[in-house]
Every structure is written in structure tokens, then in C-alpha cells.
Structure 1
Amino acid sequence: MTSSSTTTISLEETLKSILPEGKLDGKLPPVHLWNPEHSADIGMEIRADGAWWHDGSRINRERLVKLFSRILRKDEDGQTWLVTPYEKVIVKVEDAPFLAVRVDRVGEPGRDQTLAFLTNLDDITLAGPEAPVRVETDPDTGEPSPYVLVRGRLEAKLTRAAFYELVEMAEPSPEDPDILGVWSQGRFFPIGPAA
């Protein structure tokens, strides 16, 4: 990783890249197309509770966090970055960069339903073939860790409340009645054992 003392992320240039029209609700910038030469480590991190930190201090300005989340990218090697056309900054992610704080069902329960997840940063993702739900289980404690893909390779970890909502919607797998899961956009996602 390299950093140049003469190249730093300019707030003005960054804001123009992130918000060409100056509005948070516009299209996301094409971070997947940006491959800047310069990179830096400035102590950015996203902790397991969804809090963003910079150089040991929590970033409490929600609008700034939402701005940064728009230029977040996770590469194939697992590294997560804040990316602009000019420079990229590594972000250490303790668990997942987003939290899914709510899940809503659209449509009739079962195969035809769509599950919509709302993140802590107001992203909405519709679970389905392009945005799978997955659950990892800790082999020692048996504790489930549920996730849904938000965009690119960036996932949201479901909060306990959102996971309980998901469990309420669960039904037996069509292939194995001992496995519970949920349907969304015609895809069945296992979430755990029935017992």
C-alpha cells in the first residue's frame, strides 16, 4: 500500500465524485470503475456495531458516514476501500460494513414473496439471486451470523431484531424439512435447523 504526501483526498473533489448533483439520493458513483494509483491508510474502520471510526475517533456525523458509504468498495482480495477517482483509502471492517436493521415482506408469503432489507445507512436491498441471504454458524457457540448482500461484495449483517423478524417468516426447506429458510424472489435461503 502506498501513500503520497502530495496526494490526499480533496473533500471538494470527493464530494463532486460522490454527489454530482449535490444530493444524497442520486445514483451511486461507479466505484467499480475507479482504479486510482495512490492508496493510503488513514485509520478508517467500521466496527461490528456499524460505527465508523477515523484515527481512533468515532465519526458521529451521520451525513458524512452516508457519504463515505457511497464510495465503499470491497475488492476480490477481501480488502475494503473508500474509493475516489484520485485515491483510495483502506477501511478495516470488523464484521460487515452495514447492518440490516429491518426486513419487510412484499407479496404473499412463500415462494412469491420478496424480502426487502433496510440498512443502518438507509440502503434498501431486495434479497434474491443477485442479493443472497446467508447464515454462518459459529462452530463453538452455535451462534448464527446472518448476512444479506447489499451491493458489489458489500454485505449487511442482520441485527438480532431483524434476524428474529426473518425467523418468524421461515418455513421448512422444500428439499429437507429439518432445515428452515426463507423465500425471496423465487430463491430459497436456508437460515438454520428446524429443531
Structure 2
Amino acid sequence: MSDRAEKQTGGLAAVAGAAKQAPGRGLPPVHLWHPEHCGDIDIIIRADGVWMHEGSPIGRAELVRLFSTVLRKDPDGYHLVTPVEKLKIKVEDLPFRAVTLERDDGRLRFTTDVGDTVEAGADHPIVVETDPVTGEPAPRLHVRGDLWARIVRSLFYELVETATVEGGRLVVRSDGEFFALGPVGAGVE
């Protein structure tokens, strides 16, 4: 095994081990950890939400969930962070995808592909921008820290179908906040 492969495998095991340290106690406090950068690890989160390691999908959902709990975005990119290691990974679009939606008493509750539940509101806004390549709406939802989830197309269409028109824009409401999905007649109706 090459030194690089050994370092990556060791780094992967160390990240998994650190993430397992606090089961059932919520998310690890990655915002408080400031280890030295240890290098890059060959993990890519594809735009379709698939986590890849050394060119192969990570097939165990539990492992992906575990890694997602120690993911952090810093000014220089995305990292898996433990108290003693910081390994840079690649993210093609956004690290998470919002894949289910529940409506409950004026609230929009999303679940991500890694199992996070996020209620849209002041702390977790829905933002819709236009994709510069396709020209189509690119909706996202704030999850935690500087981590966002791409709202999958089917959920976005569901939001559009239930939106109201206010001031020439399609809007949805959640937890007392309103979120613009786009102007009426701009391809989101």
C-alpha cells in the first residue's frame, strides 16, 4: 500500500472513529475543533448526493451519515474534521440534498439524504438562485454552519404548486417566515 493510500485509509478510519465518539448526543461540535490541515482525502460528494471514496460509492448509509456529522465548510473548502485531524474533500454542488418534505401547522420540515431534519425558518432559510449554466432555479436550504442542501426538483415543484403570489413573486411560508421561489412567469410557475 502506498504512503498516500495508507494515510487516506488511516485518515478515513480516524474520522469514522472520532465521529462515533458521541452517539446519541447530537452532532459533534466541529465548529469548536481547529486541528492542523492534514491533507486531502479522496472523497467526493457528487451533485446527485452520492459520496464517493477512491472512485467507488460509499455503500453504507451509516458511514455516510457518520461522515456528514463531521463535515464543515471553511473558507478554503469542505473538510472532514475531528479534534486532531482536518481532511479536505471535494463537493461538486452542495453537500446535502433535501429529499422529503412534510407540512405541519404552518411549517415546512425537510429531511436530507443523510438524515438531518430541518425546519425552514429564520435560521434555516430557503434560497432560490438561478443556475448560471442551465438558467433553471437552483433552490437550497440552510442545514447547519455553512452547510446547505440542494432541494430536489420534485420537492421544488411541490413548493411551487402550493405557493401564493405576493408582489409578483411566488412565495411559501414556514415558521412565520416567507421565502420567494421566483418571479411569476420566470419558469417556476
Q: Which has the higher helix share?
A: 2
Q: Secondary structure at the match of 1:9?
A: helix
Moved beyond 2 Å, runs of 4+: 5-11, 13-17, 138-142
Counterpart of 1:56, as a letter, is: G
Task: Report the TM-score when normalising by structure 1.
Answer: 0.84
8 Å CA contact retained: 1:172, 1:194: yes
Return closer, same or farther for 1:74/1:50 CA change in 2, 3 Å cut-off: same
Aligned-pair distance for 1:65? 0.6
CA distance in 2, matches of 1:130, 1:150: 9
Counterpart of 2:27, as a letter, is: L
CA distance in 2, matches of 1:104, 1:93: 27
Aligned-pair distance for 1:86? 1.2
Return closer, same or farther for 1:145/1:6 CA change in 2, 3 Å cut-off: closer
Aligned-pair distance for 1:38? 3.4
Aligned-pair distance for 1:55? 1.9
Aligned-pair distance for 1:85? 0.9
Aligned-pair distance for 1:121? 1.1
- Which ranges in structure 2 are unaligned for 5 or more consecutive residues? none
- Which ranges in structure 1 are unaligned for 5 or more consecutive residues? 108-112
Q: Secondary structure at the match of 1:26?
A: coil
CA distance in 2, matches of 1:38, 1:153: 19
Counterpart of 2:67, as a letter, is: F
Of residues 108, 112, 118 in structure 2, which corresponds to 1:115?
Answer: 108
Counterpart of 1:17, as a letter, is: A
Query: Which residue pairs with 1:152 in the alignment?
Result: 145
For these two proteins, the number of residue pairs brought into alignment is 180
CA distance in 2, matches of 1:14, 1:90: 12
8 Å CA contact retained: 1:19, 1:26: no
Query: Which residue pairs with 2:82 in the alignment?
Result: 84
Query: Which residue pairs with 1:53 in the alignment?
Result: 52
Task: Report the TM-score when normalising by structure 2.
Answer: 0.87
